[in-house]
Amino acid sequence: MMIRHLSVRSLAIALLAASAVPSLALDYPPTARQPVTNTYFGTAVEDNYQWLESFEDPAVKSWNAAQNRVSRAYLDQLPDRPAIAARLKELYAATSASYSGLMPRPGVLFALKSQPPAQQPWVVALNSLDDLASERTVLDPNLLSTNGTIAMDFVVPSHDGKKLAVSLSQNGSEDGTVYVYDVATGRQLSDQIPRVQYPTGGGSVAWNSDDSGLYYTRYPHAGERPAEDLNFYQQVYFHRLGTPLEQDTYQLGRGLPRIAEIELHSSEDGRWLLAAVANGDGGEYAHFLLEPDGSWKQVTGFKDQIRLAEFGRDNALYLLSRANAPRGKILRLPLNQSDLARATLVVPESDAVISGICPADSGLYVQDLIGGPSQIRYFGRSNSTPQIIPLKPVSAVQQMLCPAGDQLLFRTITYIDPYAWSAYDPATQTVHPTKVAGTSPVDFSDLEVVREFATSRDGTRVPLNIIHRKDIKLDGNNPTLLYAYGGYSISQQPGFNPTRRLWFDRGGVYVVANLRGGGEYGEAWHLAGNLTRKQHVFDDFIAGAEWLIHHGYTNPKKLAIEGGSNGGLLMGAVLTQRPDLFRAVVSHVGIYDSLRSELEPNGAFNITEFGTVKIPDQFQALYAYSPYHHVVDGTRYPAILLMTGDHDGRVNPYHSRKMMARLQAANRSNYPILLRTTAAAGLGIGTGLGERIAQEADGDAFLFEQLGMVAK
């Protein structure tokens, strides 16, 4: 889900002239065809490149290395590439510190701090958001690895704020072991808990009430299950600090689905523990509560459509329900009740899509989505009319928390404004800025954001967030980058990055589309773009591209597209369905072989979102759009750069290898078709700053060359 950011350096006159003609053909490595036929419900599907799935095969490693050499030779010879990398480093170095993931504890706020040139975020503690002088570093993974290859998967302070549990993994693998640190001294304790975190089901920990131990998610250890099941069947165990792992005790998980994903949360006092269990990645959840007496009870089931549960300070759970309310309603269930039928309605469904809950002493803060941008409402217990917290137009609320009393802390961001933390007091109905806010090394005041709507094939209106210079001329000749995701109920919300300024300095237009499959308009919007309805996502994206062309923003020779992971599937689908519509494609860690992706460990978790080849109508839907199977020989494809990482445990890199082999064999244009594989990253989570800059520089140089862009 990475977004390209382009440099302000000027292209040489010779490069500008060369961009008007197709790039010269490249000498790609030969790729052997080894036909294999897979049959699904009587349909025979030939696969010439299935042999590229095995990275343990020396021939595959050799082929991959040869592809990388071709890509590096091409990208490194681009005249603007060194200047792009240098400018990116300058801008990242000038970027202000970012504080996110705030975690309040008595008398202290923990936060994740990011500030280039540091490769990875680190953990800090401070007294308040208005007392930056009190900041102190608690744990810095940059001291554990100077090249950014060690990352934190998650961090959880103890209830008293004296200890810190953290999962650490290497090379973007998300294969994490939990360590415990003393906050005051930074000393690492003896406890090390392996197999807590993995890309398939994630990972989580929660402290017990007196902070003497940890509840943690645990994957099977070698010998406990067959090798093919070791990254499934997540369970919950308890570890008491200072004791051998062999004494850890089972808590929950037997009988849960193979693809269960468990996330643990404890109440503020630690007396209650909540386990939210996802049934894969399709949006079904069950919730289990550990009571103070040590017994577990199930509160909700997968079919109850409860998407989120939060502890209140009034001995109750607040539940976000989508049952007969696709945009969400809030229920209150006392902790001493286990019958969901006894829950009472506290916030009814409205036009806004509820995405978050923050219970305070005297009321409830509700975070909403309105087609992409955010809204916050406060419901006092004695007043049914909510207060609307004022936010900047087209902004996103990235986090909100209620540290004490009725105060709300919230972090907002827009496409043209850096993040800022603010405080809200419902008694005075006022918003106060805190001292924690980002600053930008570049000026965005000459830009504007407009929201327009394209009409998809079936008549659905699809939002487009268009960012451009105020003096734009709608003459159809603006280089335009269209980005989207469209899946898993994940909403594309406003975000800020100063390096995006560089795209605008070359006359570019930047567009984010809110496609079906996301959650921008609630569960109905999500369901309209998953399983057998996935084609709606691609139709929405194509409609957005056509709208931009029809309304004079750009033309097919000036239109580039980008996406990653599920958004990489989107890239593969639209470039095979409409190769005439785009000039250049940058796709990260994409899913391209939709028929075999479920055979991978994380692919099994995706079945609830994409479907399975084992069900006839779902197979037909998958086969109808699978990008790898719709590359057509003799087609003039746009310029394409596929990026992937050796350590991606979410989307197997073989997708990119197979797609690249098929595209290179079929393409009849002279545009480059390139594969870039890095050994220092996975899906992108936990990737160090240096590698992120290198990826951006390659993508930027590639797009500049293809679109003929120069600084203005």
Domain containing residue 492: 13-91+442-707
- Identify the pLDDT of residue 679: 76
Which SS3 state, helix, strand or coil, does residue 697 take?
helix
Q: Which amino acid is at 89?
A: K
153 assigned to some structural domain: no
**Regions of the chain with pLDDT less than 50:** 1-24, 682-684
200 assigned to some structural domain: no
- Here the CATH number for the domain that contains residue 522 is 3.40.50.1820
Judge whether 265 and 289 are in contact, CB under 8 Å.
no
Which SS3 state, helix, strand or coil, does residue 356 take?
strand
Domain count, the chain: 2
Tell me which of 413, 439, 465 is where a domain ends: 439
Backbone torsions φ then ψ of 92, nearest 5 degrees: -65, -40
Distance of CA 68 to the CA centre of its chain: 26
633 assigned to some structural domain: yes
Judge whether 646 and 677 are in contact, CB under 8 Å.
yes
Burial class (CB in 10 A: 0-12, 13-18, 19+), 116: buried
Q: Could you tell me if 521 and 398 lie in one domain?
A: no
Backbone torsions φ then ψ of 535, nearest 5 degrees: -60, -25
Question: CB neighbours of 481 closer than 8 A, spacing ≥ 6?
Answer: 4, 503, 508, 509, 510, 511, 560, 561, 562, 703
- Identify the pLDDT of residue 680: 57
Q: Could you tell me if 410 and 457 lie in one domain?
A: no
Per the document, the length of the chain is 712
- Identify the pLDDT of residue 710: 83
How many C-beta atoms lie closer than 10 Å to residue 471's C-beta?
6
- Can you tell me the distance from the alpha carbon of 223 to that of 217, in angstroms, rounded to the nearest whole number? 18
Judge whether 288 and 277 are in contact, CB under 8 Å.
yes
Six-digit token string for 499: 């390096």
Tell me which of 396, 416, 439 is where a domain ends: 439
Q: Could you tell me if 435 and 567 lie in one domain?
A: no
- Identify the pLDDT of residue 649: 64
Backbone torsions φ then ψ of 693, nearest 5 degrees: -65, -40
CA distances to 102, 363, 405, 406, 431 from 402, in Å: 11, 11, 7, 7, 14
Q: Could you tell me if 571 and 506 lie in one domain?
A: yes
Judge whether 319 and 306 are in contact, CB under 8 Å.
yes
Pairing of strands 430-437, 316-321: unpaired
- Can you tell me the distance from the alpha carbon of 637 to that of 102, in angstroms, rounded to the nearest whole number? 45
Closest to 391 in 3D by CA, of 375, 369, 411: 375
Q: Which amino acid is at 145?
A: S
Q: Could you tell me if 428 and 448 lie in one domain?
A: no
- Identify the pLDDT of residue 605: 86
637 assigned to some structural domain: yes
Query: H-type helices in 246-308, by residue range?
Result: none
Backbone torsions φ then ψ of 455, nearest 5 degrees: -110, 120
Distance of CA 369 to the CA centre of its chain: 17
Q: Could you tell me if 423 and 552 lie in one domain?
A: no
612 assigned to some structural domain: yes
Q: Could you tell me if 434 and 559 lie in one domain?
A: no
Six-digit token string for 634: 């003799």
Judge whether 131 and 110 are in contact, CB under 8 Å.
no
Q: Could you tell me if 684 and 650 lie in one domain?
A: yes
Q: Could you tell me if 451 and 599 lie in one domain?
A: yes
Pairing of strands 447-455, 430-437: unpaired
Six-digit token string for 504: 């605008």
- Identify the pLDDT of residue 686: 54
Query: H-type helices in 173-325, by residue range?
Result: none
185 assigned to some structural domain: no
Closest to 345 in 3D by CA, of 302, 379, 297: 379
Six-digit token string for 26: 């490249």
Q: Which amino acid is at 483?
A: Y
504 assigned to some structural domain: yes
Q: Could you tell me if 433 and 446 lie in one domain?
A: no
Q: Could you tell me if 464 and 435 lie in one domain?
A: no
- DSSP of 96-153, one letter per residue? PPEEEEEEEETTEEEEEEE-TT-SS-EEEEES-TT-GGG-EEEE-GGGT-TTS-EEEE
Distance of CA 83 to the CA centre of its chain: 29
Q: Could you tell me if 394 and 509 lie in one domain?
A: no
119 assigned to some structural domain: no
- DSSP of 196-223, one letter per residue? EEBTTTB--EEE-TTSSEEEEEEPPPBT
- Can you tell me the distance from the alpha carbon of 465 to that of 463, in angstroms, rounded to the nearest whole number? 7
Tell me which of 422, 439, 456 is where a domain ends: 439
Judge whether 113 and 98 are in contact, CB under 8 Å.
yes
